[in-house]
Structure 1
Amino acid sequence: MQQRRIGPFDVSALGLGCMNLSHAYGTPPSPEAAEALLLRALDHGVTLFDTAALYGFGANETLVGRVLKPHRSKIVLASKCGMTGIDGKRVIDGRPETIKRTCDESLKRLQTEVIDLYYLHRWDKQVAIEDSVGALADLVTAGKIRAIGLSEVSAATLRRAHAVHPIAALQTEYSLWTRNPEIAVLDACRDLGVAFVAFSPLARAFLADGLHDPETELEAKDIRRQMPRFEPANYRRNLALLDEYRRMAAEMGCSPAQLALAWLLAKGSDIIPIPGTRSPDHLDDNLGSLAVRLEEATIRTLDALINQKTVTGPRYNAATQQEIDTEEF
């Protein structure tokens, strides 16, 4: 397994996003299927496992903790605070006392004495970023977490946070169809020596060519139903981009998912994608991207084919967009 660096850790070049084993994409898999998927990833050399207090309102941390506890020394365990479920609703709360309490709760669910990489899941704009990161720094001092991460923040916020305590990783969405990190965050990460962790690198199945009709294929509670790019009219236009994309994948002798991940891996050795999946076959396919090598001409062609100008619809609806701090085109 190829390795990349996050702060003090060497991790597999592809991590595993664990969210959809418990949260957000309709009915989760059975506990037995979820456990098998986690162990299969481990057996294949994946060492970075990414969860959060929010996912399944604690259920995902409980799952990950139970399954991976016997293998704790082999993995880098990442979780998140600052956004949790309270009385069935998602709540953003970055107050220092909440962050510290949430960490203690997560440690219990994860069945570990220390979380390797602990992210502020969302910046609570009612709380100065310096105060939230200060609480995370206190957790480092207390030995409860080893490194600090941020999620969905701008370059300016990253720099403010990094001035309080070194930030090991910044996590946000990055793929061919979501290029926002290219505005400023990637450059800021490189200036500061911060690893970039890319979630939804397969554009929530779009780049895996795994979703053709959101109206009929998505369950009622699937979060993609609230995302403008998946609205029927927008998605039909986006699907037209896949004809040439499929042709390129076939020409390369790889799957569409492998092409998307290979493009992202080629964008920098400091980028660690964390695709999520419930399918053992998809997991194996994703890991196969590590063997795909793209020439510069191919990368340029992909850049021109699928980007912020050719994709129809913003990535989030207006209400969700107000909650995040990322730069927008």
Structure 2
Amino acid sequence: MAQGCRVRRMKLGSQGFEVSAQGLGCMGLSAFYGAPTPETNAVALLRHAINAGVTFLDTSDIYGPSTNELLLGKALKDGSREKVELATKFGITGVHMHGDWTFGVRGDPEYVRSACEASLRRLGVTCIDLYYQHRTDINVPIEVTIGELKKLVEEGKIKYIGLSEASASTIRRAHAVHPITAMQIEWSLWSRDVEEEIIPTCRELGIGIVAYSPLGRGFLASGPKLVENLDQDDFRKTLPRFQQENLDHNKILYEKVSAMSEKKGCTPAQLALAWVHHQGDDVCPIPGTTKIENLNQNIGALSVKLTPEEMSELESIGQP
């Protein structure tokens, strides 16, 4: 089994930002994927990741909300702040009423600044390495939002600016105000729509690509049994891909990935992750996990080498 390799470093974007070639999506430790991971276990996982060379940590103020940033702040109290590249996000607002969440989006300058200062406090840091606008506020011109982020860069509160789930035209307009370092998108064997417009735009402008859910929100690691074991309050239960009518098709996809991984001597998760890694030197996947064992397996994906023929085979498996 491919495991135990050291995590290489990579340049993300064209402004000199260097990160671990595989990051860690921290959302699932605190939110949306069932009960939060006990704090002691979560801190242990984060510190293990950093020591193993996975130093690019991804969070957001909406994860929890707030609790995920606080968790990272606690994990970094051991003096490891200087070893990590810290990414967080602003822009999705959440209001909890009558047992339900109502989500909104804000990108006005006052909100941008207050959200940044609140994240700095929760994380216990003086500067955020990469600060993303989590979603685009259609009521505020992107130039206005990026203008405020540019001021935060000048003030030393953030180092680099990122976007998440923005359109190609929004990326261009934002980049014209201040260089965008990274674009965060869902990209995996079963989520390919970004390849048409978003990826080419990022490459044209020298913007790094951060792939979230590179394991299909866990499905490409565990297959249909993942769905059987989801907690009642796991938001994946609401996603169309996890509904029974789509599971038959997705089960076949998983079985093909699984059979190919067996031939390669790696796990299905490692094969699916290796496919993302092979998309280019400008791509950094950020798989999430709550278990150290899975984290170690994910690191092993970095040593899985795929031939052009194997990439083509995987492409055909992943086609809808």
TM-score (norm 2): 0.93
Which of 141, 144, 158 in structure 2 is aligned with 1:145? 158
Q: Is the 8 A contact 1:4 1:12 kept in 2?
A: yes
Shift of 1:84: 3.0
Distance 2:193 2:253 in 1: 19
The amino acid that maps onto 1:65 is: G
The amino acid that maps onto 1:272 is: C
Secondary structure of the structure 1 residue equivalent to 2:220: coil
Distance 1:277 1:230 in 2: 19
Gaps of 5+ in 1: 311-329
Q: Are residue 104 (structure 1) and residue 145 (structure 2) matched?
A: no
Aligned-residue sequence identity (percent) comes to: 45
Q: Is the 8 A contact 2:218 2:226 kept in 1?
A: no
> 1:16-35 to 2 correspondence within 5 Å?
16-35=24-43
Distance 1:77 1:67 in 2: 12
Distance 1:211 1:9 in 2: 38
Q: Is the 8 A contact 1:17 1:274 kept in 2?
A: yes
Gaps of 5+ in 2: 1-6
Q: Which moved more, 1:238-247 or 1:182-191?
A: 238-247
Shift of 1:139: 0.8
Q: Which moved more, 1:194-203 or 1:122-131?
A: 122-131
Q: Are residue 182 (structure 1) and residue 188 (structure 2) matched?
A: no
TM-score (norm 1): 0.91
Q: Is the 8 A contact 1:52 1:81 kept in 2?
A: yes
- Residue in 2 aligned with 1:236? 248
- Residue in 2 aligned with 1:306? 318
Distance 1:89 1:145 in 2: 28
Shift of 1:213: 5.9
- Residue in 1 aligned with 2:128? 115
Q: CA RMSD, aligned part only? A: 1.2
Which of 64, 67, 80 in structure 2 is aligned with 1:71? 80
- Residue in 1 aligned with 2:146? 133
Distance 2:252 2:136 in 1: 36
Q: Is the 8 A contact 2:257 2:272 kept in 1?
A: no
Secondary structure of the structure 2 residue equivalent to 1:49: strand
Distance 2:126 2:16 in 1: 18
Secondary structure of the structure 2 residue equivalent to 1:267: coil
Distance 1:229 1:53 in 2: 26
Q: Is the 8 A contact 1:49 1:76 kept in 2?
A: yes
- Residue in 1 aligned with 2:91? 82
Q: Is the 8 A contact 2:186 2:214 kept in 1?
A: yes
Distance 2:86 2:95 in 1: 24
- Residue in 1 aligned with 2:9? 3
Secondary structure of the structure 2 residue equivalent to 1:80: strand
- Residue in 2 aligned with 1:208? 221
Distance 2:212 2:235 in 1: 15
Q: Is the 8 A contact 1:94 1:132 kept in 2?
A: yes
Q: Is the 8 A contact 1:172 1:199 kept in 2?
A: yes
CA deviation map 1:137-162 (0-9, x unaligned):
11111111000000001211100100
Distance 2:294 2:123 in 1: 26
Shift of 1:303: 0.2
Q: Is the 8 A contact 1:119 1:150 kept in 2?
A: yes
Distance 1:27 1:126 in 2: 34
Q: Is the 8 A contact 1:211 1:217 kept in 2?
A: no
- Residue in 2 aligned with 1:219? 231
- Residue in 2 aligned with 1:13? 21
> 1:189-204 to 2 correspondence within 5 Å?
189-204=202-217
Secondary structure of the structure 2 residue equivalent to 1:207: helix
Shift of 1:210: 4.6
Q: Are residue 264 (structure 1) and residue 276 (structure 2) matched?
A: yes
Shift of 1:219: 1.6
Distance 1:210 1:241, change over 3 A: closer
The amino acid that maps onto 1:103 is: C
Aligned length: 307
Distance 1:252 1:185, change over 3 A: same
Distance 1:271 1:80 in 2: 19
Distance 1:127 1:235 in 2: 39
Shift of 1:193: 0.7
The amino acid that maps onto 2:134 is: H
Distance 1:235 1:202, change over 3 A: same
Shift of 1:242: 1.9
Q: Are residue 283 (structure 1) and residue 291 (structure 2) matched?
A: no
Could you list the structure 1 runs, at least 4 aligned residues long, displaced by more than 2 angstroms after superposition: 84-91, 209-214
Distance 1:275 1:111 in 2: 24
Q: Are residue 60 (structure 1) and residue 68 (structure 2) matched?
A: yes
> 1:31-50 to 2 correspondence within 5 Å?
31-50=39-58
